[in-house]
């Protein structure tokens, strides 16, 4: 396959991105992210690892049925994995089976406990089976950057002969430097005789902070598919950040001279959705999508930007979809204006969804004088992130002060019945959590608690993200309110509802 002059964007946010510690997406969230990735212009969505769990299988199948771009299923070179992968991804208009096997001495000896000859044989057999099911087959040499080059060339030649249409060269542990990784890609083109029959791909991790640099170096040396995640999510320090590498190709097009299909004004919005659903905040100083990416504090910088933005801005905020909030809606606004505003922001909701969102908008408008774009962003995202409400917050009362022990009374609704408990604690939130746990029963230890203002002003919406643990698993919950204690209780109940929903799925 000739290496063309356009980069194929392979997004693995739903697979590798979900492997970020503490991230646990439900099916509606995965579908929403998949739709945003498709709208963004992603060429291939790696929707999951179907053999890893029933939940991942269902997610891959659902994504395959709901988007038009290519959908990939990750599989080990094991027949059962490949069969399950195909069963999940076969509904896609453009299905892909992505098989992988480690090729480094370290992995072969300590993880696989296999000799190189056995690895080569299994890789070929895996690709042959995948090819018998699906025309589009990708093969990844796990830990390629630490593999012996000659063995790597041998494996690549063999899997291409077996039918692989894409061969992926991962820097699995983020060990490579841009110079050596680029040289490795260059050597593959020189040393693998049939390399022209396949697309060369790279998958770079960020352990040394060089994932984007390594990916760009690979592109300069002929790679034409890059594997990325939104916000750089992923194992350990994460993966190559899509928004960063895409904007590097866009802003420095004179250097790279390579196109892509990403609709860059949708990058910021997609970044925000992924951040909300995963509970992983975007660092304020993160390139492209961070809160400070287009902020200027220095007086000299401010003067320059006011005179001409190009003095300190190499791209516009609008080029990545980051615009200032506009205060246009309030409690007197009607449904038509509300609907028009959502359309202008890029939302396409059904009539039923508009009715539901408008009702929640009115509740918020009673608490806030003016509603910003960010308020609406959070309002819509919050609904998608909901889980079955096994328990729902009805009311709470708090007594707290610096000279008394905090006390809380919490009322939850479960199966249409109200349950109230009171408890003390080390502060009002701890007391409220203790009262909540008494109603629900069981141990729900808090592993993480994060609070931030997601909009501006004294009546800003506060978002609380918590993580609770039970039976060795962790569950993330989110709560949103202008009252931070209410947001905290909502987040805690949301996390517990997620745990219960997961337990019900396993039983079912």
Question: What is the domain-level CATH number for residue 436?
Answer: 3.30.160.270
Q: In angstroms, rounded to a whole number, what is the distance separating the alpha carbons of residues 57 and 59?
A: 5
330 in a structural domain: no
pLDDT band at 497; cut points 50, 70, 90: very high
286 in a structural domain: no
Question: What is the domain-level CATH number for residue 204?
Answer: 3.20.20.70
Question: Are 408 and 452 in a shared domain?
Answer: yes
Question: Are 310 and 243 in a shared domain?
Answer: no
285 in a structural domain: no
Q: For position 307, what pLDDT does the model report?
A: 65
**Are the beta carbons of 282 and 275 closer than 8 angstroms?**
yes
Kindly report the pTM of this predicted structure.
Answer: 0.79
422 in a structural domain: yes
Question: Are 274 and 302 in a shared domain?
Answer: no
Q: For position 337, what pLDDT does the model report?
A: 79
Question: Are 91 and 29 in a shared domain?
Answer: yes
Q: For position 289, what pLDDT does the model report?
A: 94
Mean pLDDT over the full length of the chain: 90
pLDDT digits (tens, 9 = 90+) for 420-461: 999 999 999 999 999 999 999 988 999 999 998 877 666 678
Q: For position 325, what pLDDT does the model report?
A: 44
Question: Are 373 and 444 in a shared domain?
Answer: no
Return the beta strands (E) in 68-147 as ranges: 70-76, 95-102, 137-142
Q: For position 30, what pLDDT does the model report?
A: 95
Assess whether pLDDT exceeds 50 at residue 412.
Answer: yes
Question: Are 365 and 224 in a shared domain?
Answer: no
Question: Are 258 and 348 in a shared domain?
Answer: no
Q: For position 292, what pLDDT does the model report?
A: 84
Q: For position 191, what pLDDT does the model report?
A: 98
In the chain, the percentage of residues whose pLDDT exceeds 70 is 92
pLDDT digits (tens, 9 = 90+) for 257-286: 999 999 999 999 999 989 988 989 899 899
Question: Are 197 and 265 in a shared domain?
Answer: yes
73 in a structural domain: yes
Assess whether pLDDT exceeds 70 at residue 312.
Answer: no
Say if residue 320 is exposed, middle or buried (CB neighbours under 10 Å; 0-12, 13-18, 19+): buried
Q: For position 386, what pLDDT does the model report?
A: 63
Q: For position 130, what pLDDT does the model report?
A: 98
Q: In angstroms, rounded to a whole number, what is the distance separating the alpha carbons of residues 158 and 204?
A: 23
Summarize the confidence of residues 390-410 as an average pLDDT: 95
End-to-end Cα distance, the chain: 45
Q: For position 255, what pLDDT does the model report?
A: 95
pLDDT band at 300; cut points 50, 70, 90: low
Question: Are 69 and 145 in a shared domain?
Answer: yes
Q: What are phi and psi of 344, to 5 degrees?
A: -65, -25
pLDDT digits (tens, 9 = 90+) for 132-158: 999 999 999 999 999 999 999 999 999
Q: Which of 80-94, 173-187, 335-349, 374-388 has the lowest mean pLDDT?
A: 374-388
Higher pLDDT, 350 or 441: 441
Q: For position 302, what pLDDT does the model report?
A: 52
Higher pLDDT, 460 or 217: 217
Q: For position 500, what pLDDT does the model report?
A: 92
Q: In angstroms, what CA-CA distances link 416 with 278, 389, 392, 413, 486?
A: 30, 11, 10, 6, 21
* Domain total of the chain: 4
Question: Are 55 and 156 in a shared domain?
Answer: yes
Q: Which domain does 370 fall in, by range?
A: 335-384
pLDDT digits (tens, 9 = 90+) for 370-398: 677 777 877 776 665 567 889 999 999 99
Question: Are 233 and 345 in a shared domain?
Answer: no
Q: In angstroms, rounded to a whole number, what is the distance separating the alpha carbons of residues 320 and 282?
A: 15
Summarize the confidence of residues 116-124 as an average pLDDT: 98
Question: Are 312 and 425 in a shared domain?
Answer: no
3 in a structural domain: no
Summarize the confidence of residues 341-355 as an average pLDDT: 76
């Amino acid at each position: 396959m000739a290496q063309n002059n356009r980069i194929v964007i392979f997004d693995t946010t739903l697979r590798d991105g979900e492997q970020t510690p503490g991230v646990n997406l439900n099916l509606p969230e995965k579908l929403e992210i998949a739709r945003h990735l498709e709208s963004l212009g992603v060429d291939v969505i790696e929707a999951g690892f179907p053999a890893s769990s029933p939940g991942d299988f269902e997610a891959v199948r659902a994504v395959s049925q709901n988007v038009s771009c290519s959908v990939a299923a990750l599989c080990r070179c094991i027949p059962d994995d490949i069969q399950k992968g195909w069963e999940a991804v076969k509904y896609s208009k453009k299905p892909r089976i992505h098989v992988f096997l480690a090729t480094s001495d370290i992995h072969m000896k300590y993880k696989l406990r296999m000799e190189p000859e056995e690895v080569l044989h299994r890789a070929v057999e895996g690709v042959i089976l995948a090819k018998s099911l699906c025309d589009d087959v990708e093969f990844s040499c796990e830990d390629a950057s630490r593999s012996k080059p000659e063995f790597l060339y041998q494996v690549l030649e063999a899997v291409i002969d077996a039918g692989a249409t894409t061969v992926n060269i991962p820097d699995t542990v983020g060990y490579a430097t841009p110079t050596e990784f680029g040289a490795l890609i260059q050597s593959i083109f020189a040393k693998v005789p049939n390399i022209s029959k396949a697309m060369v791909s790279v998958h770079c991790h960020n352990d040394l902070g060089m994932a984007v640099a390594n990916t760009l170096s690979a592109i300069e040396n002929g790679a034409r598919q890059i594997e990325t995640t939104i916000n750089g999510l992923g194992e350990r320090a994460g993966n190559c950040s899509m928004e960063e590498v895409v904007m590097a190709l866009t802003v420095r097009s004179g250097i790279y001279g390579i196109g892509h299909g990403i609709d860059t004004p949708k990058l910021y919005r997609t970044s925000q959705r992924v951040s909300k659903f995963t509970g992983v905040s975007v660092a304020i100083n993160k390139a492209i999508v961070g809160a400070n990416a287009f902020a200027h504090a220095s007086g000299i910088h401010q003067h320059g930007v006011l005179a001409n933005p190009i003095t300190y801005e190499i791209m516009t905020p609008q080029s990545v979809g980051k615009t200032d909030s506009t205060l246009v809606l309030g409690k007197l606004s009607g449904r038509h204006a509300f609907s028009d505003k959502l359309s202008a922001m890029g939302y396409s909701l059904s009539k039923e969804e508009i009715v539901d969102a408008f009702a929640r908008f009115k509740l918020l408008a009673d608490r806030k004088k003016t509603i910003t774009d960010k308020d609406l962003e959070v309002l819509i995202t919050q609904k998608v992130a909901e889980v079955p409400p096994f328990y729902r917050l009805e009311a709470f009362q708090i007594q707290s002060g610096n000279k008394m022990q905090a006390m809380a009374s919490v009322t939850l609704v479960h199966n249409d019945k109200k349950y109230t408990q009171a408890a003390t604690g080390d502060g009002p939130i701890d007391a409220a959590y203790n009262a909540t746990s008494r109603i629900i029963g069981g141990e729900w230890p808090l592993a993480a608690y994060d609070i931030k203002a997601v909009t501006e002003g004294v009546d800003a919406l506060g978002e609380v993200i918590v993580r609770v643990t039970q039976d060795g698993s962790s569950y993330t919950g989110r709560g949103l309110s202008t009252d931070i204690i209410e947001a905290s209780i909502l987040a805690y109940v949301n996390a517990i509802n997620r745990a219960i929903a997961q337990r019900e799925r396993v039983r079912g």
